[in-house]
Amino acid sequence: MKKLFLFLTLLLTWTFLIHSPVYAEVPETTGDYFNVELSLGTQSPWTKSVPINVKFRSNITADKVEISWDAPEGIEIIERHPQFIPVEKGEVYSYTAYAKPSTSGTYNISGNITDWEFKTNYTSSASITLTFDEDKTTVPQTAGYSGAVIIKSLILLLLALGGLFGLYLLARNFVKKLKKWLEPPE
């Protein structure tokens, strides 16, 4: 019994020490204020917009951090996130914006994370390059885009079939009423 108690005590102590902040492995920081990473989501076959995910780890605690985007003319960035947020040191934050092309071409898009301080500010950023063909699809295609196009086609086909079936029912109903109306009185 004493050996079991000793074993459990050592196991719990070891578990506590390994998971305590003092002994836990500290993520490597680059000395920047933020470690910023950009990634792409699946392009929408409906709107041709591409989600751009910005993921960053804050190496400072700040009350007013701005998320902004730089993009050349010919592509619109639609932000679906707040412009300013508070951050805590060591926390990871993730937000999404959408890039919608108006013309084909290659675009360099930058995601900027800026800490606004009194009389100064600190910015970390990352860039990603997007190329669109004449159909405004990304080159190479984003993962899952082909499947999304197939699903879009199936939805449109089902809507067309549903519309045709609805027209058939309306026409059949209309013909019945028309026959009854055209019938001579007795």
Q: Is the dihedral of CA 106, 52, 42, 91 positive or negative?
A: positive
Residue 93 reports pLDDT greater than 90: yes
The alpha carbon of 185 is separated from its chain's Cα centroid by a whole number of angstroms, namely 67
pLDDT at res. 142: 78
Query: Of 133, 112, 103, 104, nearest to 69 (Cα)?
Result: 112
**pLDDT tens digit string along 99-149?**
999 999 999 999 999 998 888 888 999 999 999 999 999 988 877 888 888
The alpha carbon of 113 is separated from its chain's Cα centroid by a whole number of angstroms, namely 17
Could you tell me whether strands 84-87 and 62-70 are parallel, antiparallel, or unpaired per DSSP bridges?
A: antiparallel
Residue 167 reports pLDDT greater than 80: yes
The alpha carbon of 100 is separated from its chain's Cα centroid by a whole number of angstroms, namely 13
pLDDT at res. 7: 56
Answer whether 115's CB lies under 8 Å from 88's CB: no
Proportion of the chain above pLDDT 70, given as a percent:
83
Residue 95: how many other CB atoms lie within 10 Å: 17
- Residue-by-residue DSSP string for the chain: -HHHHHHHHHHHHHHHHHHSTTTSPPPP--SSSEEEEEEE-PPPTTT--EEEEEEEEESS-EEEEEEEEE--TTEEEEE-S-SEEEE-TT-EEEEEEEEEESS-EEEEEEEEEEEEETTEEEEEEEEEEEEE-TTS-BSSPPTTHHHHHHHHHHHHHHHHHHHHHHHHHHHHHHHHHHHHHHSPP-
pLDDT at res. 117: 86
Burial of 97: CB neighbours in 10 Å, binned 0-12, 13-18, 19+: buried
- In the predicted model, what is the mean pLDDT of the chain? 84
Separation between Cα atoms, residue 92 and residue 29, nearest integer Å: 13
Q: Tell me if the pTM is above 0.85.
A: no
